[in-house]
Amino acid sequence: MEELDGEPTVTLIPGVNSSKKQMCFDWGPGEMLVCETSFNKKEKSETVPGCPFIYIIRKDVDVYSQILRKLFNESHGIFVGLQRIEEELTGKSRKAQLVRVSKNYRSVIRACMEEMHQVATGPLLLHLLDWVRLHVCEVDNLLADVLGSENPRKHESFWKLVTILVLQGRLDEARQMLSKEADSSPTSAGMCRILGDLMRTMPVLSPGTTQTLTELELKWQHWHEECERHLQDGTFASSPHLESLCKIMLGDEAALLEQKELLNNWYHFLVTRLLYSHPTVKPIDLHFYAQSSLDLFLGGESSPEPLDNILMAAFEFDIHQVIKECSIALSNWWFVAHLTDLLDHCKLLQSHNLYFGSNMREFLLLEYASGLFAHHSLWQLGVDYFDYCPELGRVSLELHIERIPLSTEQKALKVLRICEQRQMTEQVRSICKILAMKAVRNNRLGSALSWSIRAKDAAFATLVSDRFLRDYCERGCFSDLDLIDNLGPAMMLSDRLTFLGKYREFHRLYGEKRFVDAASLLLSLMTSQIAPRSFWMTLLTDALPLLEQKQVIFSAEQTYELMRCLEDLTSGRPVHGEPDAQRLQDDDIETTKVEMLRLALARNLARAIIKEGSLEGS
Amino acid sequence: MFVERLPDEGPGDQHTEVSVINTVDTSHEDMIHDAQMDYYGTRLATCSSDRSVKIFDVRNGGQILIADLRGHEGPVWQVAWAHPMYGNILASCSYDRKVIIWKEENGTWEKTHEHTGHDSSVNSVCWAPHDYGLILACGSSDGAISLLTYTGEGQWEVKKINNAHTIGCNAVSWAPAVVPGSLIDQPSGQKPNYIKKFASGGCDNLVKLWKEEEDGQWKEEQKLEAHSDWVRDVAWAPSIGLPTSTIASCSQDGRVFIWTCDDASGNTWSPKLLHKFNDVVWHVSWSITANILAVSGGDNKVTLWKESVDGQWVCISDVNKGQGSVSTSVTEGQQNEQ
């Protein structure tokens, strides 16, 4: 077995801690169950009562976080948009698109973090949250606070604020603050102005200038020396605050480290340090400074935390390591899945490691999407993620979507639509079957029928049609007429269903007094064998009113056919699978019916022959 | 399997945090032997030495007792939910040699069938893939495996495989349904010809694979030998669309094996040792997407395993019994006082 980086995470489940018991478990669709048990099956268990609790455990509980929900929703939109970026786009325009995607993700993350700042949160992003709180939200709040007060320079946090602004490189604002101090305090006015000037004149690399790096370097050196000179000359000697600020601007490590609390973490320390000592640092050298910043900041008092490892890997541009560290540190696949996907689109994964390339992307997306399926509505986002996983996305979706509880008809329809759009016929069939059977059990035959039609399940359609027919025999009328009347081509799904549809049509024709058409249809149902034998008696009985009309409806030929059917039915000839025919002979009521039919048929035959034989024709 | 292509130390194959999201007080008066979630994760069935089977509604973190089913005369070892298309149906098996099938009708749970064809404790029940119909396999200490098939109108047909395992059968697990041939234009009303298979594990230290022949009889298709003591559990992994089949088996000998068969080649099953534990391994179970195997050990733990790039199985999480309050990702040895 290969070496592992560390021990697997251990989760402790509370319970009676007896050395004789074990843990029983099983998987649910999105969770696990564990409970205490004793596998050594004996008839008599120990007298000590067991622990009666079942624990339901789950990964990715973040999926239920209200705040993250917005993040999931919005990032889903960005994700789908990214997948659809034109493949033909190359070079600059493609790059521009990708950068935009990255910015979109970042703004969504930021929005989420700002919202988290408003609310008490859980463990996720705790460290970054601290940073945001201090560096964005709190600072701005503090700034407003101080500026808004009656006498800003007397505010207790005045110097703290100025220091933070300098640490963050927000020199313009820092200068503004200093000018307030200068205005109100003649003794320090001069010093403030000088420091303010230094702040104003610090050379910075601004985009769009034609300045080269070397030129900047040179200018910066001069500026740096000027600051140094002031320090040496003791310009700020009478103000410890100002002197400290000057040292910070010189990138003095000791001075920076004094502000540990305001810096809050080593990467801020890194940035400030670089800003004021190596402003033209090259990306390649970044990780040197990162490592030393980390070491200096921690000062041997504490060890790096997982988030630190992520950043260190990032500074080394080791994408693989970043992804790995993220997977370990973060409790949820969201970040690493979207990041890897973006990197893959930028073709960065492949260039870094030929081994896995986009397979890594798929693996992470599958993990993330699976997590979404644990949520009663976020699962819909998961569908899209699976769609963009070419290898295992489809089968994963198939397995997950079948487990969505079909608590409402609306939800069922939604699930079905998704399956139908993707030609997941097995799942459609299975889901429709579940709904159809539920409908049958609740005696909602119309609903059952529509589900079986949607599932294209002939066997089930037959079953439901039989129920309809049985109901008709018992009650003398149909339920769900609308549905049966509008079957259309679906009628062809099964013979029994066709019969049901046609039989209903017969009733409709009769209702519209289109007796001749009704009569023909009725007869054809028997002669074409569409009607099940067991139903013939009912059909023949339905023919009675047509036989007893004043006008002759059934022709002689048709009457002969009907007679043949009746004799067929009552002859006692063994018809396989139809025991009813046999029973007919023994039943008194049936005998009477048969007699009536014979009489009616005979009379009709007579009238028909006469009618057809006479001059007017048939 | 896709996971094989991950790099050596890929993400996700090392650390997984889990949290307790719900605790269900079953109020069982004796040891619990099995707990099973239904298909959708909305209901929980439990069974116990107190001879009862209980069903709870656990939606939205709640726990409502729906049914307290009595009928067994001995400890109940396992429960199994049938596929929802057949309604709400639960099977249970017990030391009392009976298998009972319970069904929910009009909102109440009742016994719908009792199978008494075994001479000894029935240890395991498992429903076949729903595509085959409503079929239940039962493994018993009398060494036999019985298969109950619902034929309609409350009738169940029984087929029995006697002496499936000498001394006793401890576990049964069905292979996922694989639709043979193409699905194009199946004639309506006709059922596709599935090849039904299941695996069983027994006190003869063997894992056996069974196949239904065309005449409807069950025949032993394969013997998988690798364990040196009683096989306690077998679990056939769900299908993820790849041509390989995978079975996990665990035994009194402390070993867990992963058996794979490359279906293209036919019937060659090769075992790979997942891990050798220090004690009896009682239970193995696959997650629904088959990418994680949970293994219960005699040492009070449940470990979760995933396959990595070079085909090695890596433990990604450890669920352990312990005292005190619930905590996540606590390193071994630390325990919080409640």
Average pLDDT value over all residues in chain A: 81
Q: Locate tokens 């690399």: which residue? A: A205
**What stretches of chain B show up as alpha helix (H) in DSSP?**
none
The per-residue DSSP string of A451-474 comes to: HHHHTT-HHHHHHHHHHHHHHHHH
Structure tokens at A361: 């992307």
Q: Which residue of A has its CA nearest to B87?
A: A438
Q: Which residues are CB-contacts of B306 (< 8 A; sequence separation ≥ 6)?
A: B3, B12, B13, B291, B292, B293, B313, B314, B316
The alpha-carbon gap from B245 to the nearest alpha carbon of chain A, in Å, equals: 15
Rounded to whole angstroms, the Cα distance separating B116 from B99 reads 7
Q: Which residue of A has its CA nearest to B285?
A: A26
A238, A191 contact by CB (below 8 A) = yes
pLDDT of residue A135: 59
Tell me whether B108 touches chain A (CB under 8 Å): no
Please compute the mean of the pLDDT values over residues B88-98 and round it to a whole number. 96
pLDDT of residue A494: 87
Rounded to whole angstroms, the Cα distance separating A367 from A365 reads 5
A496, A452 contact by CB (below 8 A) = no
Q: Quick one: which of B168, B127, B129 has its CA closest to B145?
A: B168
Rounded to whole angstroms, the Cα distance separating B52 from B35 reads 12
pLDDT of residue A122: 38
SS3 A434: helix
- Name the helix (H) or strand (E) containing B212: strand B206-212
Rounded to whole angstroms, the Cα distance separating A101 from A328 reads 25
Cross-chain residue pair A36–B24, CB shorter than 8 Å: no
- Residue pLDDT, tens place only, B169-222: 999 999 998 765 444 444 544 556 788 999 999 999 999 999 999 888 999 999
A263, A282 contact by CB (below 8 A) = no
Rounded to whole angstroms, the Cα distance separating A383 from A418 reads 8
* Other C-beta atoms lying within 10 Å of the C-beta of residue B114: 12
| Pair type for strands B169-174 and B155-161 | unpaired
pLDDT of residue A3: 34
Is residue B73's pLDDT more than 60?
yes
Rounded to whole angstroms, the Cα distance separating A257 from A266 reads 10
pLDDT of residue A7: 60
Tell me whether A491 touches chain B (CB under 8 Å): no
pLDDT band at A272 (very low <50, low <70, confident <90, very high): confident
B8, A2 contact by CB (below 8 A) = yes
pLDDT of residue A381: 94
Tell me whether B180 touches chain A (CB under 8 Å): no
Please indicate, yes or no, whether the overall pTM of this predicted structure exceeds 0.90.
Answer: no
**What stretches of A374-513 show up as alpha helix (H) in DSSP?**
379-387, 393-401, 409-421, 425-441, 445-454, 458-475, 481-485, 495-511
pLDDT of residue B309: 56
Best of A17, A20, A36, A41 to substitute, by most chain B Cβ atoms within 10 angstroms, is A41
Q: What are phi and psi of B240, to 5 degrees?
A: -115, 30
- Residue pLDDT, tens place only, B22-71: 888 888 888 888 999 999 989 999 999 999 999 999 988 889 999 999 99
Rounded to whole angstroms, the Cα distance separating A58 from A582 reads 61
* Other C-beta atoms lying within 10 Å of the C-beta of residue A300: 7
B244, B262 contact by CB (below 8 A) = yes
pLDDT of residue B57: 93
DSSP type of residue B144: -
* Other C-beta atoms lying within 10 Å of the C-beta of residue B238: 17
Structure tokens at A358: 């986009």
Cross-chain residue pair A22–B320, CB shorter than 8 Å: no
Q: Locate tokens 């169940």: which residue? A: B156
Please compute the mean of the pLDDT values over residues A559-587 and round it to a whole number. 68
Q: Which of A8, A29, A394 sits opposite B288 (nearest CB)?
A: A29
| Pair type for strands B135-140 and B145-152 | antiparallel
